[in-house]
Amino acid sequence: MPLMLSRDDVMQVLDMNDCIDVTEKAFAEMANGTAVLPLRTNITPPDGLSLYMPAYLKELGALACKIVTVYKNNPAKYNLPVIVGKVLLQDPNTGDVVCIMDGGYLTAVRTGAASGVATKYLAREGDGQVAGIFGAGVQATCQLWAMTCVRNISKALVYDLSDDAVEGFISKMSDKLGMEIVKADSPDTILQQADIICAATSSATPIFDGTKVREGTHINSIGSHTPGARELDTAIITRSTLIADSYEACLNEAGDIMIPIKEGAIDKSHMKAELGEIVTGKKPARNSDAEITIFKSNGLAIQDAATAKLVYDRAVEVGVGNSVEL
Ligand SMILES: NC(=O)c1ccc[n+]([C@@H]2O[C@H](COP(=O)([O-])OP(=O)(O)OC[C@H]3O[C@@H](n4cnc5c(N)ncnc54)[C@H](O)[C@@H]3O)[C@@H](O)[C@H]2O)c1
């Protein structure tokens, strides 16, 4: 009997620290050759886009497939969100689906967790660091949450084109994290003060001037992940040490990398490592305090599989969710 887990159920059992831990293990499996990560399959029915993201992690015992759909007319026509996601978790021994869970909150937490792992290895150490968050949407909340799990953050600055989004972000996240979060009046305010930057916007064009980023800054770029869209300009890409979640995903999906390659500003060797190679020590992380580092995240199915297994195990442990006879 598969267990059904709603968004509220997932929220009840999914913690960022635990998710960072399993996410690190998932990236290590990718580097060690025990992860199976086929390319995402995309289908385009007339009204939208349907994405199938399967993965298997041998050591974690996680076998799952996330289905995400993007239907722009959903809100007006059906009173449904544009993006809807569900994860099917299987028992690797029998292949049977043991759990179907909502994928919205899970996606935000696992995306935050990947940035958390990258920040843990790549950002400078230090007390009282400042986090700068571009975008004040769903993903941005989990980006900041993850930063506070891996670094001592004393203050966060948030910049968004929407004042309402910033106000909502500050009121929600100040309560949750119990820290000082203030609105940044301009992108430059963040560039002048932040030790760690998270770019988590829906923008298709660069969101700040890369020539103004301070030496030593670490950047997590999670927003754009289509070939023609980018949040980062060519200047910051050329100035930085670039770490990919996956070379393949970056070369096929990330405008942040693909556009500078097309311009001839960099070639693919500019990507120094995959995150899994960093966490397993196969490649070095930061080389100096002056280095600018970028983690480019496109979102991988291994993150969903690891997180779904974590959620399921915890839900069974504490008795959350409803089992349904199919
Ligand atoms: N890498 C991953 O694994 C992953 C996973 C999920 C979502 N995403 C991506 O993350 C991005 C954010 O997703 P979300 O769910 O938080 O979206 P959202 O719509 O909730 O929030 C995006 C915010 O970005 C703001 N914004 C747009 N342009 C901006 C600019 N130039 N400067 C500052 N703010 C700007 C918008 O006003 C909005 O508040 C999307 O591009 C989404 O596709 C990535």
| 94 SS3 class | coil
**CB 229 within 8 Å of CB 199:** no
Q: Is the CB of residue 135 below 6 angstroms from any atom belonging to ligand 1? A: yes
- Ligand 1 centroid – CA 145 distance (Å): 16
**Which element (helix H / strand E) includes 140?**
helix 138-150
Quote the number of domains for the chain: 2
The pLDDT-based confidence of 110 (bands split at 50, 70, 90) is: very high
Closest ligand 1 atom number to CA of residue 139: 16
Q: Is the CB of residue 144 below 6 angstroms from any atom belonging to ligand 1? A: no
- Ligand 1 centroid – CA 82 distance (Å): 13
For residue 113, what are the contacts with CB-CB under 8 A and spacing of at least 6? 16, 19, 20, 22, 23, 142, 146, 303, 307
Residues 59 and 142 in one domain: no
Residue the block writes with tokens 């400042």: 130
Residues 165 and 94 in one domain: no
| 60 SS3 class | coil
pTM over 0.85: yes
Mean pLDDT of 84-104: 98
Residues 23 and 142 in one domain: no
For residue 282, what are the contacts with CB-CB under 8 A and spacing of at least 6? 31, 273
Question: Hey, which residues are catalytic here?
Answer: 66
CATH of residue 31's domain is 3.30.1780.10
- pLDDT, tens digit, for every residue of 24-55? 999 999 999 999 999 899 999 999 999 999 99
The pLDDT-based confidence of 245 (bands split at 50, 70, 90) is: very high
- Give the domain extent around 236: 115-299
- Ligand 1 centroid – CA 96 distance (Å): 35
Residues 82 and 205 in one domain: no
Q: What is the distance between the alpha carbons of residues 269 and 246, in angstroms, rounded to a whole number?
A: 13
Q: What is the distance between the alpha carbons of residues 294 and 191, in angstroms, rounded to a whole number?
A: 14
Residues 27 and 101 in one domain: yes
Nearest CA to ligand 1 atom 42: 223
Q: What is the distance between the alpha carbons of residues 88 and 91, in angstroms, rounded to a whole number?
A: 10
Question: Which among 192, 236, 216 has a CA at the least distance from the CA of 126?
Answer: 216
Q: Is the CB of residue 140 below 6 angstroms from any atom belonging to ligand 1? A: yes
Q: Is the CB of residue 202 below 6 angstroms from any atom belonging to ligand 1? A: yes
